[in-house]
Structure 1
Amino acid sequence: MHLDGAFRNLGCEVQGEGNKKRHSIFGFGISIAAAGALLNPMHAAAQEFAPGVTCEGRICTNDTDDQYVVLWEVTCMNVVLPPGETVSTVTTTTGHFSQTVAPRSTLSVDTDCPQGTTLSYWITGVQPG
């Protein structure tokens, strides 16, 4: 696959609303493997989204007697080389997901892209469910 042409047209982009911002940077000629390795989220310390509900990496723990809904977003990159073309088309999509975590249990959020490569994911919050 010839990815140079597709990546040549990508630059630096900052998107955000309120206090939530996302930065995506692609350089000229970066391979898919390198982009996935660079943009794959690092595991940080557990973040408390509600009293007794924490998430670390992709694992959310509910240590309460109440049910909660976990909300997250996943950004995927799809690379397609159309038949007869020499330049690939690169698109990114962001999906919004939610799933219930029962009282006194854990949830592993699904960050896999059905097609393409996972560029990033982030848990955006929890709400009583």
Structure 2
Amino acid sequence: MIRLTARMLVSAGMCCAAMGALAPQAIAQDLAPGVHCDGLACNNDNDEAYVIFGTFTCVTTMWPPNGTAPEYYYENTPITQDIEPHSAVTIPLGCGGGAVVGWGLTSAVPRASLPRTGSAGF
């Protein structure tokens, strides 16, 4: 029983350390001229709509039935967020079934410059 408790404490500590290492810094970031974000709160100062792109890092914890240490599965989930002209938006955290342990915004492009596919909402 003591071994199991020790394993669980070590696993929990490793998980917390990993989440701290992956968590982004809340700094202002310019994604495109006129489109800037402070953390996940973004502003568009342009006369046209933009689409913001990035990635959430998600973790799912699986507890084996035999009482051994948990297994962690990491997955990157894409972020696409529309932002209308002269407006602000906060990108909602989201992982389908897992927990967000990190994220990063990579770019913003004018929505009119993207190909119209019908499947991505633009």
Q: TM-score category by the smaller chain?
A: 0.7 to 0.9
- Give the letter aligned to residue 62 of structure 2: V
| Secondary structure of the corresponding residue to residue 86 of structure 1 | coil
Matched, 1:72 2:54: yes
Greater than 3 Å deviation, 4+ residue runs: 1-5
How far apart in 1 are the matches of 2:79 and 2:14? 28
**2:85 match:** 103
CA RMSD of aligned residues (A): 2.3
Note if contact 2:30-2:36 (Cα within 8 Å) is conserved in structure 1: yes
How far apart in 2 are the matches of 1:3 and 1:78? 16
Gaps of 5+ in 2: 112-122
Q: TM-score, normalised by structure 2?
A: 0.73
Structure whose residues are more often strand by fraction: 1
Structure whose residues are more often helix by fraction: 2
Gaps of 5+ in 1: 8-28
State the aligned residue count. Answer: 106
Within the candidate set 13, 23, 31, 1:40 is matched to: 23
Matched, 1:91 2:76: no
Q: Which has the larger displacement, 99-108 or 83-92?
A: 83-92
Change (3 A) 1:93 1:3: farther
| Secondary structure of the corresponding residue to residue 13 of structure 2 | coil
Note if contact 1:36-1:117 (Cα within 8 Å) is conserved in structure 2: no
Q: TM-score, normalised by structure 1?
A: 0.69
